[in-house]
A and B are shown apart, each in its own frame.
Chain A
C-alpha cells in the first residue's frame, strides 16, 4: 500500500551514460513532481506535471527529460550523465491546488 514509490532506490553509473528513474503514485493525485537533493540536503524542485502536462520547469539542463505516460506515473530520463548529477532524486505528488506533497523514498544516483 505504498503511496509514492520510486525505482531504483540506488543507481551507480559512469559519466556519459543515460539512465531513467521511475515514479508511481497510487493516491489518485493530479500533480507530480521531481526534486533534487544535493549532498548538503538542499532540496530544489526540478519539474512538475499536472494531468500529464508539464506545468513547472525550473532551470534544469536539457539532459533531463521528464515523461508522464499517465497521471499516476512520472519518469525522469537523464542523458549524458555528469559527476554533478550525483544526488538523491525525490518524486512527490499532490492534489491539484493543494500544497501538501507526499514524497517517495528517493533514488540515490551516483555518477563515477
Chain B
C-alpha cells in the first residue's frame, strides 16, 4: 500500500522561504496534494500536482515533484505568521476502482519574527 512520510516540525523566520518535504512509496499515484490545517480548523486544499508534471507554481507556493525519487516538496516564499499551521502531504491510492487519499503525518510550521 501507499506510505507517505513527512518531517514533523519546521521553524522559519518571517520573510524567509519555507520548504516542506514529503516522500511517498506508490509510484502509480496520479495526483499529489498539499493541505493546510490551522488550529481548530479542518483541512484546506492548498494545491496539487499531477504526476506528469515536475513543477507547479501558484503565487507564493511552488510544488516540486521528483517522480523518480518519489519526493514532493512545497516551498512557501516570503513566509508570514499567518502561514503557521500543519501542512499535510497526501497521495492518491486507487483501490477497487475508487480513489482514496493517504496522508502523511503532517509538518508543523512555526513562523517567528
Q: Chain A interface (Cβ within 8 Å of chain B)?
A: 4, 31, 33, 40-45, 48, 50, 55-56, 90, 92, 97-106
Bin the interface of chain B by size: 20 to 34
Cβ of A42 and Cβ of B101 under 8 Å apart? no
C-alpha gap A98/B44 in the complex (Å): 16
The answer, yes or no, to whether B33 is at the interface (CB within 8 Å) is yes
The main secondary structure of chain B at its interface with chain A is strand
| Chain B residues numbered 64-103 whose CB sits less than 8 Å from any CB in chain A | 86, 88, 92, 95-96, 98-103
C-alpha gap A83/B3 in the complex (Å): 27
19 contacts between A and B (CB under 8 A): A41-B86, A41-B105, A42-B105, A42-B106, A43-B43, A43-B88, A43-B106, A45-B101, A45-B102, A55-B96, A56-B96, A90-B43, A92-B43, A99-B30, A101-B45, A101-B101, A104-B42, A105-B41, A106-B41
Q: Which B residue's beta carbon lies closest to that of A40?
A: B105
Residues of A contacting B44 with CB < 8 Å? 103
Cβ of B42 and Cβ of A103 under 8 Å apart? yes
Cβ of B105 and Cβ of A106 under 8 Å apart? no
Q: Enumerate the 9 nearest inter-chain pairs by beta-carbon distance, A residue then B residue, closest first.
A: A103-B42, A103-B43, A43-B103, A99-B92, A99-B31, A105-B42, A55-B98, A41-B106, A106-B42
Cβ of B106 and Cβ of A99 under 8 Å apart? no
Q: Which B residue's beta carbon lies closest to that of A108?
A: B40
Q: Which A residue's beta carbon lies closest to that of B98?
A: A55
* New A-B contacts (6) at CB < 8 Å, excluding given A45-B101, A92-B43, A99-B92: A4-B42, A48-B98, A50-B98, A56-B96, A56-B98, A106-B41
| Chain B residues numbered 21-76 whose CB sits less than 8 Å from any CB in chain A | 30-31, 33, 35, 37, 41-45, 48
Residues of A contacting B35 with CB < 8 Å? 103
User: Closest CB-CB distance, A27 to chain B, in whole Å?
Assistant: 12
Q: Which residue among B30, B42, B95, B96 has the maximum number of chain A CB atoms within 10 Å of its CB?
A: B42
Q: Which A residue's beta carbon lies closest to that of B102?
A: A45
C-alpha gap A105/B40 in the complex (Å): 8
C-alpha gap A101/B44 in the complex (Å): 9
Cβ of A99 and Cβ of B48 under 8 Å apart? yes
